[in-house]
Structure 1
Amino acid sequence: MSDDTPTPAVRLRDVRLDRGGRTVLDGIDFEAPRGGIVAVLGPSGSGKSTLLAALTGELPPAAGTVEVLGQVVPTRQRELLELRKHVGVLLQGNGLLTDLTAAENVALPLRTHARLPKPVLDRLVAMKLGAVGLHAAANLYPRELSGGMARRVALARALALDPPLMIYDEPLTGLDPIAAGVIMRLIARLNASLGMTSIIVSHHVHETLPISDRAIVIANGGIVFSGTPAELERSEDPLIRQFLAGSPDGPIRFDGALGAEAA
């Protein structure tokens, strides 16, 4: 009897991740079902950015396996670059090139990876900017954009190659509440309309949970919760309650003074 269950977009099995000679995360097991939105939550220094680095192939696991889009994340550069064409990443700092217009920034991955006639390229760029509500900003430079607009241009660029998987690295950093609300609604709408899978790495719990299908919480070197947002909010675990309440006192260790990573 065949198993017709779709392969998860992301699957980690008993993964250990090391940085600088120390173990940051250990015993990591989780799956991101295709078509859903998964929130990866945790306090600063918990290892969220280290997990993201493993998903993109920047950091090979010290133990266990990391699978993305049905394959183990390769270590050979050429194979890794091929996989990355199918994974969009929205960076914390946007990563826009300051000497290029919004349209030129969005066109960059298309110019790099696809040989397209200029009229087709221009049409695709216009479509991507239109999808994030910024068609009129095509000729503006990053310095002329508000924080929310710059984040949306970066999102349009991340979507340029129509990736089936999107990873958002702290997408609300530096945004005011209104811009943050716009970005979260946009993420939810694009995920549904484009049939993508999205992983949102964030410490903005109350903004991220409403659009998520599943959530995991990272703390103290591992996953301390995995389930639905409703289950997370109902949890009576003291560690989860501390995290949701933002309390400095409790079972979650604060290692910022010891030089833990900043995300």
Structure 2
Amino acid sequence: MTAPAAPAVHLHAARLERGGRTILSGLDLVVPKGSITAILGPSGSGKSTLLAALTGELPVAAGTLEIFGQPIPHGARALLEMRKGLGVLLQGNGLLTDLTVAENVALPLRTHTKLPEPVLQALVRMKLHAVGLLAAADAWPRELSGGMARRVALARALALDPPLMLYDEPLTGLDPIASGVIMSLIQRLNRSLGLTSIIVSHHVHETLPICDQAVVIASGRIVFAGTPAQLQSSDDPLVRQFLDGQPDGPIPFDAPTRAYGEAA
């Protein structure tokens, strides 16, 4: 009998710390291959900390974290190889202003491969075509709208054909139309390229329609994991406060008081 394939991401009893202070604990999460998972939660809940753990920037303090059945490596060279299989779309785009759109998309290919120039250029055109911006190949980042810049950053993140895509607040600063375009692209690319996608976001209503799984982080832990429909029908007070935007509830508005000298 063939053993079941390992999930794209598997956390078990994981604890994440920054500066000796526990940010998230008791994390148990399975992200199946080929799925789209939304990591939701209020600002400051630890979503970016979880993303840092997935990229290997932040080692788990306890428990386990596996990507496609393998633990995050510790050595610099092994970590670099692992990261080649991750595509990361940053909320700030991170486009280099002194490079054209095509040159930005080509950068990961030039850095990590030795492809002949004609093959490299063909791949760049393919990635730009996939996000609907082939006609903007020679444009400069300053000439792009916010939505176009986000799509260029997406094309660059896809340059090395990573099996796992991580999106850090992909809708920040975008208008409703551009947000809809980005969400539609994420869904279409996930299906057509056979990707697994994790979207870290606080934009609930825009994100849930394209997701297979929704995870809510609050009060230093995962308070919900299930389908979007199950999330919408949840009566958990933490979940309801977040979904309904209630100012009063179990999630405090003010940051907890820390003793003098405690790490931030």
| TM-score category (smaller protein) | over 0.9
Contact 1:45/1:255 (<8 A) preserved: no
Task: Give TM-score scaled by structure 2 length.
Answer: 0.95
* Inter-CA distance 255–73: structure 2 relative to 1 (3 Å threshold): farther
Give the gaps of 5 or more residues in structure 2: 259-264
Aligned to 1:87: 86
Aligned residue for 2:139, secondary structure, equals coil
Aligned residues: 258
Aligned to 2:183: 184
How far 1:83 moved relative to its partner? 0.4
Aligned to 2:137: 138
**Structure 1: distance between partners of 2:25 and 2:2:** 30
Aligned to 1:171: 170
How far 1:178 moved relative to its partner? 0.3
How far 1:247 moved relative to its partner? 1.1
Aligned to 2:109: 110
How far 1:185 moved relative to its partner? 0.3
Contact 1:88/1:167 (<8 A) preserved: yes
Letter in 1 for 2:123: L
Aligned to 2:218: 219
**Structure 2: distance between partners of 1:124 and 1:194:** 14
How far 1:53 moved relative to its partner? 0.2
The answer as to 2:177 corresponding to 1:196 is no
Runs of 4+ in 1 over 2 A off after TM superposition: 2-5, 253-259
Aligned to 2:30: 31
Cα deviation 1:109-132 (Å, max 9, x = unaligned): 000111111111111000000000
**Structure 2: distance between partners of 1:96 and 1:116:** 22
Percent of aligned pairs with the same amino acid: 73
Contact 1:15/1:29 (<8 A) preserved: yes
The answer as to 2:53 corresponding to 1:50 is no
Letter in 1 for 2:12: R
How far 1:20 moved relative to its partner? 1.9
Aligned residue for 1:23, secondary structure, equals strand
Aligned to 2:61: 62
Aligned to 1:129: 128
Task: Give TM-score scaled by structure 1 length.
Answer: 0.96
Aligned to 2:19: 20
Letter in 1 for 2:129: G
Aligned to 1:7: 6
**Structure 2: distance between partners of 1:250 and 1:77:** 43
Alignment RMSD, CA only?
A: 1.2
Give the gaps of 5 or more residues in structure 1: none
How far 1:255 moved relative to its partner? 4.2
Aligned to 1:232: 231
Cα deviation 1:76-122 (Å, max 9, x = unaligned): 11000000000100001011111000100000000011111111111
Aligned to 1:244: 243
**Structure 2: distance between partners of 1:128 and 1:158:** 9
Aligned residue for 1:249, secondary structure, equals coil
Letter in 2 for 1:46: S
**Structure 2: distance between partners of 1:255 and 1:172:** 25
**Structure 2: distance between partners of 1:3 and 1:207:** 38
Aligned residue for 2:13, secondary structure, equals strand
Letter in 2 for 1:83: M
